[in-house]
Amino acid sequence: MIRFWSVESDPAGQGRLAGAKPVAVLDIGSNSVRLVVYERLARALTVLYNEKSSSTLGRGVAASGKLAETSVASALKAIRRFALVCRLTEVGEIYAIATSATREASNGPEFARAVEEIIGVPVRVLSGEEEAHFAAYGIVAGMPDFKGVVGDLGGGSLELAQVEDGEDTGGETHELGVIRLQDDSNMSSSKAVSIIRERLQSSKLLEPGKRKTFGAIGGTWRSLAKLHQARCQYSLHMVQDYAVPAAEIISLCDELVSGNGDKKLVKGIETVSGSRKDLLPFGAAVLAEVLRAGKFEEVVFSALGVREGYLFDILDEGEKAIDPLLQAAEEISLLRSRAPEFSHDLIVASKAFFDLVGVSETQEETRLREAACFMSDIGWRAHPDYRGEQSIQAVAFSDIVGVSHAGRAFLARTLAFRYMGFKQKSPSAKLLDLTGSKLGKRSKLLAAYFRVAYPLAAAMPGIIPRTYFAIDGKTLVLHLPSDLAFLDGDRIRGRHRQLASEAGFKDGTIQID
């Protein structure tokens, strides 16, 4: 007997948000068929389950005009398993989408009907323009301030769109998917370059030098980003929001094209998964030619794409306007803090403290401070000796979006100081240094504030609002109400003097009102 599980059916299981109803996207691509189950439909998506099958539906479609029987059989077998996963996880809504292989094959409609019989919902076969639209929304879902051209490279096609102010225009589709290129070039990446250049000539979005940033979506390009990180020993192995000068990526792509993925010729190629290794030179050829054609200055890689863009499109305008970083950070607080309400005390009080000591904030700095307040108690269950390092890893490598790599490092650095003190020597020092000088100093000040607030209130709400800071000459004064005078102890005094020093004061004292 199969037992169905959810938070409601098993109240003891508190690892998920209570009342959240999972949603799933079945993504039928030209290279793989993938099911992603999300905890709930929200601005900040959390993956509950993710599985793919490399069915290569697009193999041979350009030549034969049909989906191969073996590929169809492989895909349908995987989808039968995916249907079971949806039942086991009690998914509320399933959205099934198919892209270029199903769209272009003469037996695509027949295949779609077979999928519908298994999964129980209609399959929406996306047009090329719709693919471009949802890919653009995928970028927006993960990087709300993105401005530039988005490219989504699949097995059968390349979609391009322009994004500005959170909306996309000028969607294009080109027959430049990696599987199609392998077929059309007879597996020659150098021959593929000529094909790419010819097919990109019709693009109206790749006007030289008009836009600085290119957003890269798709599994093959994600593999390329991981390869670049491995080769330069980058400290944060996170593809989402990984920004690199275009010239560096072009150089790597050219090396991959000339080596055709040969393990002996391309340094670091062993870090690429076997399923992507043969595709990588063709994906590299496409990216290099796109960057050259548009004369882009920067590439930023996105782990979010058509699936997330499809769900983003479903949200109402109010939900779309929610900050995904703050929503995700607050959810983490709800799931992992001792008293989630305490984070709201911290948000208000830390803002008042920053104002008092003359630390101004940009909008970006404000949201990072608030996110740090939400996440500031996530390490409490760990052994005291390891809370800092575990918190660094939990923040830096979480699936939160709407934050740059420097922003991730800021959050991690703040928790490192908060748990480990200012003399800490973290093994993750290179990662923490991604903050840069300005954010690094700010993280230390915020952590110093946390190191006063937490022992003062025992991580519980209601105490901090009854205290306040004031300035007396070159001294920072912490005021406590008379009924809380017993909080004035050695530990609080020492941490308050440390906070005063970080804020630029000569001394810190405590006064009982």
Tens-place pLDDT, residues 401-442 = 999 999 999 999 999 999 998 887 888 889 999 999 999 999
180 CA to centre of own chain: 28
pLDDT reported for residue 15: 81
pLDDT reported for residue 189: 86
Q: In DSSP terms, which residues pair with 96 in a beta bridge? A: 26, 123
pLDDT reported for residue 3: 47
Nearest CA to 60 among 38, 30, 103, 15? 30
Structure tokens at 428: 């993750």
Q: What percent of the chain lies above the pLDDT cut of 70?
A: 96
Lowest mean pLDDT among 204-208, 222-226, 294-298: 204-208
Question: With 0-12 CB in 10 A as exposed, 13-18 as middle and 19+ as buried, what is 498?
Answer: middle
pLDDT reported for residue 12: 40
Largest separation between any pair of C-alpha atoms in the chain: 84
Q: Which long-range contacts (CB under 8 A, 24 or more apart) does 485-494 make?
A: 485/512, 487/456, 488/512, 491/455, 492/452, 492/455, 492/456
Q: Which helix (H) or strand (E) holds 133?
A: helix 128-142
Domain locations along the chain: 23-125, 129-309, 323-455, 466-512
* Torsion 102-108-113-115 (CA) sign: negative
* Torsion 409-414-419-424 (CA) sign: positive
Q: What is the CATH number of domain 129-309?
A: 3.30.420.150
Complete edge-to-edge strand list for the sheet that includes strand 475-480: 468-472, 475-480, 507-512
Look at 303 and 274; give whichever has higher pLDDT.
Answer: 303
pLDDT reported for residue 267: 82
Q: Which long-range contacts (CB under 8 A, 24 or more apart) does 420-424 make?
A: 420/387, 420/388, 420/389, 421/451, 422/447, 422/448, 422/498, 424/388
Q: Over the stretch 267-292, which tens digit does the pLDDT of each residue have?
A: 888 878 777 888 999 999 999 999 99
pLDDT reported for residue 424: 73
Which residue in this structure is represented by tokens 């809504």? 93
pTM for this structure? Answer: 0.92
Average pLDDT for 136-164: 95
Residue 88 pLDDT exceeds 90: yes
Which residue in this structure is represented by tokens 């030098």? 209
Contact 155, 31 (CB under 8 A): yes
Cα separation, 342 vs 356, in Å, equals: 21
Cα separation, 136 vs 153, in Å, equals: 12
Contact 441, 325 (CB under 8 A): no
Q: What is the mean pLDDT of the chain?
A: 92
Superfamily of domain 23-125 in the CATH hierarchy: ATPase, nucleotide binding domain (3.30.420.40)
What CA dihedral angle connects 95, 99, 103 and 104, to 10 degrees? Answer: -160
Cα separation, 159 vs 174, in Å, equals: 6
Distance separating the N- and C-terminal Cα atoms of the chain:
66
Nearest CA to 163 among 26, 42, 28, 300? 300
Residue 502 pLDDT exceeds 90: yes
Lowest mean pLDDT among 7-11, 93-97, 358-362: 7-11
pLDDT reported for residue 260: 62
Cα separation, 215 vs 297, in Å, equals: 11
Query: Do 129-309 and 23-125 have the same topology in CATH?
Result: yes
**From the candidate CATH numbers 2.60.120.380, 1.10.287.130, 1.10.3210.10, 1.10.1660.10, the one assigned to the domain spanning 323-455:** 1.10.3210.10
pLDDT reported for residue 5: 47
* Torsion 442-446-447-448 (CA) sign: positive
Q: Over the stretch 458-500, which tens digit does the pLDDT of each residue have?
A: 999 999 999 999 999 999 999 999 999 999 999 999 999 999 9
Which residue in this structure is represented by tokens 């922003």? 407
Which residue in this structure is represented by tokens 């005094």? 493
Question: With 0-12 CB in 10 A as exposed, 13-18 as middle and 19+ as buried, what is 114?
Answer: middle
pLDDT reported for residue 231: 93
DSSP state of 371: H
Structure tokens at 392: 């660094």
* Whole-Å CA distances, 310 to 100, 144, 408: 16, 15, 26
